[in-house]
Structures are given as structure tokens and as C-alpha cells.
Amino acid sequence: MKTTILITYVIATISLVNSSVCASELGDAIEADYGRLDALFRHFHANPELSLQEYKTSDRLAAELEALGFEVLRNINVTGLVGTMQNGDGPSLVIRADMDGLPVQEKSGLEYASTVTQVNKEGIEMPVMHACGHDMHVATMIGVAKQLANNKDKWQGTVHLVGQPAEEELGGAKGMVADGLYEKIGRPDYALALHVIAKYPAGKIIISDGLVYSSADTVRITVRGVATHGAAPHRGKDPVVIGAQIVLALQSIITREVSPMEPALITVGAFRGGTAPNVIADHAQLDITVRANTERTRHYLLEAIERVAVQTARAAGVSEDRLPIVDVWPNGSPTTTNDAGLARRVSSAVSAGMGEDALLEWYQSDMGAEDFPDLVNIDPPIPSVYFEVGGTPPELIESGTWGPHHSPLFKIDSETSIKAGVEAMTLAAMELLGRP
């Protein structure tokens, strides 16, 4: 009995020592590579591109991957790409990084701040900014590529590094799958992704063993009325008044139909109607974002929104041929939920390599969403882990002066977060890929 315990203790001790040595070597290698990664990050930050227009970003990403020995496939859903490295027999792993920026004018004060403008899909020239950290994601992926290419003796199998377009529109992942991503590379055994998060201290790793992000859907309600003179409202049906009633009635879905213990959200972000103060228009439009933490609640909300819109119009006397048109946009995204067992494996690998204090407990503070699930929710689903990397200096978090995501003031501690992201993702990849 005592002999068995002693042997187990010795083996565990040797394992921890070896892990520590490997972790130290990995950290040193990432430190030595950081100058290149910093230049790459600054380049991506200063040159953001809108969704499905990431041509220069895709070109640079492809060139970096090819220089490291990856075989690159291009033009998967317009600008998407995948870099593949085979290293003997073993599991197949996808690591995904999103590439697109946002139509935001940067006010971060950074010396390499974006001054880029780009014409959007509606033909309007817009300022563009990496206001959500996708520049960090692609720079980190190149750092991971370097470590995997230089450490083939520590893993075996196949790794696919996916540069994904159009995450901000929540359609890029779905588009890559529809464009034959897995027909081209085969179905992977696992998938990983990360996101830098401003609410957490820079360099900390956050891994949930379940829910990570909420679902997101966009709904447009076209309220159809009957136009008339503003001085004779009784001769028409006012879509602005009906639309306002719908806005208020939608909130009763959340407060009176969904359990108070179940997170759910309906936000009317845009309300357009009318052209002049003395004219009652013939239509109005409501654009709505809908969020939930379960697929059951998600589908209930979408059905309830249509019911409320239609019945509110009926109550106002709108004829059956003029009832509201309710459109659910096709680029909605389901909840992002980690495979629990896989998340624990990744957490253990990160903890062993970076120390227990590198990990923080996950918590949800808003109902943000991601389209990574559309990359893995195929039939059958690919086991996946999506983790977060803290991006803000602790003193800024304590003072409350950090810039939130999608804000003109958004900026991160790029050095600390990129180094941590490269190390955590490399450790996770080596854990999931086969050992020589």
C-alpha cells in the first residue's frame, strides 16, 4: 500500500516537473517571438476591414501561415481561409480566429490607431476599427502556428488554423461551412477558439465548462398602416402608434411569459416611421435584437414576437391583408456552449502549464453572442471549447476607466493578452492532439 502511494507520488512529481520545464520553455519561446507578433498586431489594428471585405487581412494571414510551413486554402466564404499542418497520425483539430473589424471611428489615442475608411454593403463610406479584439485573435493564431511548427516533437495529428470572416455579422462561420469547409479539410475531432475580453484582467484565462455566450437573432417587424393626413387620423391606421404599442408589448414577453429565473432579452434598437409631422405614413419598421441562454427560450421568444406584433395590429383594427410582416434574419447564432469534459481537459492543461493563478472563474455580465457555434454545430456536433483571455490592465478595471467592446475607446494590453493567448491556446492544442 505504502509502496503504491510512493510510486504514484513520484510519478506525479516527475510529471509536474516536466510540465513546468515545458511551460518555461514555451513561455521563453513566446517571449522571443513577441517582437514579430507585436508588429503584426499593430499592422492588423491599423488596417481593419469590414465583414466579408477582409481581403488584405486574409492575404497577410495566408502569407504568414505559408511562411511557417502551413498549406493554405483560400476563398472559403469570400475571404475565409484555412492553414493546415499534418504531423503524423493522430487527432484533427480546428483553431479558429475571426478577422473582421467594425464600422466605428477609433478614439483610443493609440499611436497606431486606425484611420481607415471603407465602403459598406449599402455603398456608404464608413470609418473602420478593430473595436472587439479580432486583431489580437489573428496575431495570436500566428503565434500559435509558430509554436506548433517549432515543436512537432510534442504533438502529432493534424491542425487546421481557420481565419474566419464576418463574425460581427454573425454569418461568417455558417458561410464557411456552407461553402464546403469540412468537405475540403475533413471533419475535425475537436475545435478551439478564443476571444480577448475587456472586463477581465490582462493575461488571465477564463474557461467555462458550459455556457459561454447567449444566442442572438435579429428580427425586423414591418408595421403596415393606412396613410392619411395628420389632421385626420380617423381616416387611416397609424403605423407609428401601432409600432409604439408593439415596442411596449414586447417587454411583457420578458416580464410575464418567461420565467424570472431564465435570462432573456428583447431590445428594439431601431424604430423608423414617417416622413413629415403632418403625414401619417403607411408603414413603420422595428429592428430588434433577441437574446437567450437556451435554445428553448430562444425559439419561444421568436414565436412570441410574431404573435404580439400581429395581435397588436389586429387590436388596432388593421385589416388581415395589412398585418405586420415579421422577418427573422438568417444570420442568427445559437448559444455558445463548451463541451464540459473537453473544457476540463483544456483547463487542466492551462493550469499545469501557466499555473493555477492564470485561471479565473467565468461569469456572465451581459448577453453577448458569437457565431463560433455555427462552425461546430454540424451533424454530429464537433466537441469544442471557446475560452476567454483578459485584456485590460487591472488598475483600469478597478477604476472603471476601461473601454468596452464595440466602443471607439476600446483598447487592450496587447502584449500581456497576446502572450497569454498564445501560451494557453498552444497548451490546449498540445493537450488535444496526439502525443508522439
CA distance 179 to 75: 9
Q: What are phi and psi of 214, to 5 degrees?
A: -80, 170
Distance of alpha carbon 365 from its chain centroid, rounded? Answer: 15
CA distance 231 to 13: 85
**What residues act catalytically?**
98, 168
The SS3 of residue 225 is: coil
Residue 314 DSSP symbol: H
Biggest CA–CA distance in the chain, Å, is 96
Q: Which of 139, 138, 146, 136 is nearest to 29 (CA)?
A: 146
Neighbours of 56 (CB within 10 A): 15
CA distance 373 to 315: 39
Paired with 214 in beta bridges are 369
Length of the chain: 436
Contact status, residue 95 vs residue 425, Cβ threshold 8 Å: yes
Q: What are phi and psi of 48, to 5 degrees?
A: -75, 160
Cα 189-142-198 angle, rounded to 5 deg: 90
Q: In 316-355, which ranges are continuous DSSP H helix?
A: 340-354
Contact status, residue 170 vs residue 371, Cβ threshold 8 Å: yes
Those residues with Cβ within 8 angstroms of residue 14's Cβ, 6 or more apart along the chain or in another chain: none
Residue type, 188: P
Residue type, 45: H
Considering Cα of 309, then 310, then 311, then 314, what sign does the dihedral take? positive
